[in-house]
């Protein structure tokens, strides 16, 4: 650790037997990109900043709107019409001045991501756009960068992670083929309950911390489905189905997996 203050700040996670100072040093050295600073990105980024992730890159092209305030907990009424990444960076820096935060006011398409992903340890997909989700999937796979993907619609959420550092890893398109997907709703068209985003976004940050320090992930190659109405989590293994881009002929997703291929933030 670099200072006595840092030891105090992170003491409660350092004392955990699964963590320790070596794990904290890994977090301090980590570079993480959070794509989408909405209802998922806000809690995920806040917990990552608090945990001491050394360098956070926040990506979003939107400004704060009044309808965001029901669920996007980093923003307040006085932030209306300001860029989300700018406000989020200020809030996160105030929470932890010891980390580095970079802002990108952009909608992350495939070309943008390919130019910038080199050197990152992890990407969090917190978007509400299926096209961007598949672009993140393709570019992370191409660059060998792990990705943790989450979404919530209504009272239902999902979480899945892929470690593209491993040979033979499946990807998001293995479960939800891009060419076959049906148009998905989002929070603007279908609605979403705010605390469900908080739960799933927090779990996304938890899985991120575990991946960065080398702990096993419950969401690795496994779709974790959260039903907020029943307070129920279910795990759906991805099996051996692979898309053509992962080197095998794509198999049809099960009806249960397709039903949860939704996005919202």
Give the tens place of pLDDT for each residue, 106-156.
Answer: 988 999 999 999 999 999 999 988 999 999 999 999 999 999 999 999 999
Work out the number of other CB atoms within 10 angstroms of the CB of residue 161: 26
The residue-averaged pLDDT of 238-253 equals: 64
Share above pLDDT 70 across residues of the chain, in percent, rounded to a whole number: 88
Q: How confident is the model at residue 65 (pLDDT cuts 50, 70, 90)?
A: very high
pLDDT at 250: 39
Q: Is the pLDDT of residue 176 over 90?
A: no
Q: Is the pLDDT of residue 260 over 60?
A: no
243 is known as an active-site residue: no
Task: Write down the catalytic residue from 140, 187, 243, 246.
Answer: 187
Instruction: Report how far apart the first and last C-alpha atoms of the chain are (Å, whole number).
Output: 35
H or E stretch at 14: helix 11-14
The region that residue 180 occupies, defined by phi over 0 for left and psi between -120 and 50 for alpha, beta otherwise, is alpha
- pLDDT tens readout for residues 14-51: 999 999 999 999 999 999 999 999 999 999 999 999 99
0.85 exceeded by pTM: yes
Work out the number of other CB atoms within 10 angstroms of the CB of residue 209: 22
């Amino acid at each position: 650790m670099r200072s006595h203050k840092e030891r105090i700040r992170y003491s409660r996670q350092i004392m955990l037997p699964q963590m320790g100072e070596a794990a904290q040093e890994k977090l301090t050295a980590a570079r993480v990109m959070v794509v989408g600073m909405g209802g998922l990105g806000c809690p995920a980024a806040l917990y990552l900043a608090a945990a001491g992730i050394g360098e956070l890159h926040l990506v979003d092209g939107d400004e704060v709107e009044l309808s965001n305030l029901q669920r996007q907990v980093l923003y307040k009424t006085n932030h209306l019409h300001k860029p989300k990444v700018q406000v989020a960076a200020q809030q996160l820096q105030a929470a932890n001045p010891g980390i580095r935060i970079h802002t990108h006011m952009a909608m992350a398409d495939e070309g943008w991501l390919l130019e910038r992903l080199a050197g990152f340890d992890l990407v969090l997909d917190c978007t509400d756009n299926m096209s961007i989700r598949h672009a993140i999937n393709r570019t992370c796979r191409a660059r060998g960068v792990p990705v943790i993907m989450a979404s919530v619609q209504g009272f239902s959420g999902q979480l899945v992670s892929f470690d593209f550092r491993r040979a033979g890893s499946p990807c998001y398109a293995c479960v939800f083929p891009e060419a076959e997907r049906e148009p998905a709703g989002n929070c603007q068209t279908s609605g979403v309950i705010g605390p469900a985003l908080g739960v799933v976004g927090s779990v996304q940050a938890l899985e991120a911390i575990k991946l960065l320090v080398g702990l096993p992930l419950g969401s690795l190659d496994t779709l974790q489905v959260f039903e907020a109405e029943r307070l129920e989590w279910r795990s759906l293994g991805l099996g051996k189905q692979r898309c053509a881009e992962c080197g095998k002929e794509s198999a049809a997703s099960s009806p249960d997996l397709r039903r949860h291929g939704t996005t919202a933030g």
